[in-house]
Amino acid sequence: MKKSMKQTNLEKKLLDSLSGRALGIAEFILNDEEIQLLQDYANTVSIKRLGYNDHGPVHMRKAALYALTMFDLLAAAGIRFNLQTEGTGELEDSRVVVLVASLLHDVGMTVGRASHEYMSLILAKPIIEKILNNFYPEDAAKRVIIRSMIFEGIFGHMANRSIESLEAGLVLVGDGCDMERGRARITSLMTDKPRVGDIHKYSSTAIQKVIISPGEEKPIRILVEMNQSAGFFQVEEVLFSKISFSPVKPYIELYAGVKDSDMMKYL
């Protein structure tokens, strides 16, 4: 499988952040040829056919890294995830949910943009079944529960339907955090003809960096640095709306602004 340097670097960073069962599952997903081809084709449809931004392997790895970084900050702050509070799983199981849902949430883009979260569920189901059968072979109850939780994360990543678990909420926010200028670079180079929806492209190219760190008053601080004010559209229309829809919202501080200027506090 041919992978870009950016994808390879993201995969190394992702694997270095994991251990145990989550690490084994990540290695399985990242080395599976069919999953790679599925993610590559999602990008072909998104960029070449639809003129949209990155929805392929790089995006899905970045979304996973953002979501898992926030996961670790919540865990370090003593926040218990739904699988724990409901007595149906351990911390490691919640991490697996966030990892798998993040890495597969956009495979439905291989079919098209409209209702792609539905298509993602259909295409991801056999992959999820294979993962759970391999890594939870003796625990049917956990396979059923974790599969449902992964489905919630994939199904809810568009912020257009209610989600109730912290695990799914992290997938939603992790997806929204992938907004740095590189994600829109290819579509920006493809054409200079104006068209409806270009504000998303221009606002994306204004975002220079998304930094996730421990907050001052809450477990998570998200800082969005931009080089021009057009980036505020991306923050307010994409990221802030996803955070507002997420059960993780009470644990997040959100700041955004032009670099070397005062940051605006949203949360």
Which range has the worst mean pLDDT, 9-13, 52-56, 142-146?
A: 52-56
Per-residue pLDDT averaged across 168-185, rounded?
Answer: 83
| Distance of alpha carbon 62 from alpha carbon 57, whole angstroms | 9
Q: Which of 76-80, 154-158, 188-192, 202-206 has the lowest mean pLDDT?
A: 188-192
Q: CA end-to-end span of the chain, whole Å?
A: 42
Percent of the chain surpassing pLDDT 70: 92
108: confidence class by pLDDT, cuts 50, 70, 90:
very high
pLDDT, one tens digit per residue, over 210-224 is 999 999 999 999 999
Confidence at residue 188, expressed as pLDDT on a 0 to 100 scale: 42
| Predicted pLDDT of residue 193 | 55
pLDDT tier at 33, thresholds 50, 70, 90:
very high
Buried b (16+ CB within 10 A) or exposed e, 66-80: bbbbbbebbbeeebe
Mean local confidence (pLDDT), 253-267 = 94
**Average model confidence (pLDDT) for the chain?**
91
Confidence of residue 47 (pLDDT cuts 50, 70, 90): confident
**Highest mean pLDDT (candidates 188-192, 229-233, 249-253):** 249-253
* Residue 180: per-residue pLDDT: 83
State both tokens at 133.
């059968």
| DSSP helix/strand/coil, 221 | strand
What is residue 200's predicted lDDT score, i.e. its pLDDT?
57
Asked if residues 67 and 98 have their Cβ atoms less than 8 Å apart, the reply is yes
* Predicted local confidence at residue 114, as pLDDT: 84
pTM: 0.91
The answer to whether residues 171 and 105 touch, using CB atoms and an 8 Å cutoff, is yes
